[in-house]
Amino acid sequence: MVSPMNGRAELRDDKVITPFGDLAPRPDIRPEVLLRLSGKLQTTLELSQLLEIFLEEIQQAVLIDGLSFHHEPSNTSIAVGRNSLHTANYRLQTQQDYMGDIAFHRSTRFREHELANIEGLMTALVYPMRNALRYHEALAAAFRDPLTGAGNRVALDKTLNREIELAKRHDQALSILMLDLDHFKRVNDEFGHSMGDKVLKEAVNAMAGCIRQTDMCFRYGGEEFLIMLSSADQAGALRIAERVRMGIGQMLFSNSKGSLQVTTSVGCATLQMSDSLEDIVSRADAALYVAKDQGRNRVICDLDMPFIEKEESQHTQE
């Protein structure tokens, strides 16, 4: 007969059977190592810095080439050090919070006692990681339009200024698209503001589905949006603009007041070396105005405008 006692199973002849869990290697980490690690991890709220500190400290206890971290809810991925053949994967989670997945890499297999030490060291990472993620989320919210999830004007000014500077420094292409949902006032007036909000949200989702991971979408104001296209020349920008225009045009909505389909007009501008942020935005905005003036639901590039103006002038003279 076997009866449990203090986590062990005791036989009547006084022989003790150790549960399988007790046979697993235990962390062999000095308390001062954990104390120093905990202190260093509390010096930053930046996710990348936090992981760099963590890797640097645990490399003194376990041979590790690098680590990678992914947090699905915020679409955050960070790699530190080198990626190697062998990997040990863990999920960081408390009862209340999921804090992402972390993988440790090295060229040789991990031994059981090394994994036990990694797991012991990770106990110092959990709460600093939770605090860093909350800070990251709060920071992201400050630069995000609360209705649509697109970047707001503060994020736009910051990001576009930086990308213009980088494009000029490295002689790379950069384009922007200015979009306006056609006859949007009619949507609010005839279908209600809740429908208008739904259209704005779905329009941003449609834009996100048509652009690349390196591109960014911002709410410029009202029903007007700006998309920044990194490393995109005029031809590339026009292809993406057409994809966005068609994607939005395929959206269908309905409520008790009827069915609704929306379209968008798009103005496109490509960076010139003499451009400031205001210059390129102004040209895209002017191209958008021409697109709306030409009948809406179309894409107009800033470089097309002189030809359009010339044609209009000839028609006027005739």
Alpha helices, H only, 211-299: 234-249, 277-293
* Domains contained in the chain, number: 2
Q: Is 93 left (phi over 0), alpha (psi -120 to 50) or beta?
A: beta
- 145's tokens: 């339009």
pLDDT of 84 > 80? The answer is yes
Q: pLDDT > 70: what percent of the chain?
A: 87
pLDDT of 299 > 90? The answer is yes
Same domain, 115 and 185: no
pLDDT of 114 > 60? The answer is yes
Residue 256 inside a domain? The answer is yes
Same domain, 70 and 45: yes
Q: What confidence tens digit (pLDDT) does each residue in 247-277 have?
A: 999 999 999 999 999 999 999 999 999 999 9
Cα separation of 281 and 290, whole Å?
Answer: 14
Same domain, 120 and 180: no
Q: Return the pLDDT at 11.
A: 35
Q: Return the pLDDT at 223.
A: 96
Neighbours of 84 (CB within 10 A): 14
Q: Which of 106, 140, 174 is the last residue of a domain?
A: 140
Q: Which helix (H) or strand (E) holds 29?
A: none
Cα separation of 166 and 108, whole Å?
Answer: 40
Coil, helix or strand at residue 83: coil
Q: Return the pLDDT at 229.
A: 97
Q: Is 91 left (phi over 0), alpha (psi -120 to 50) or beta?
A: beta
Active site residue 318: no
Closest CA to 80 of 113, 112, 123, 125: 125
Are 176 and 282 within 8 A, CB to CB? no
State the amino acid at position 55 in one-letter form.
Answer: L
Q: Return the pLDDT at 148.
A: 96
Same domain, 156 and 262: yes
Residue 3 inside a domain? The answer is no
Cα separation of 125 and 80, whole Å?
Answer: 15
Which entry of 223, 242, 278, 312 is annotated as an active-site residue? Answer: 223
Give the global pTM: 0.68
The range of the structural domain enclosing residue 205 comes to: 147-317
CATH number of residue 269's parent domain? 3.30.70.270
Same domain, 167 and 268: yes
CATH number of residue 107's parent domain? 3.30.450.40
Q: What confidence tens digit (pLDDT) does each residue in 209-254 have?
A: 999 989 999 999 999 999 999 999 999 999 999 999 999 999 999 9
- 300's tokens: 């107009």
In eight-state DSSP terms, residue 231 is: T
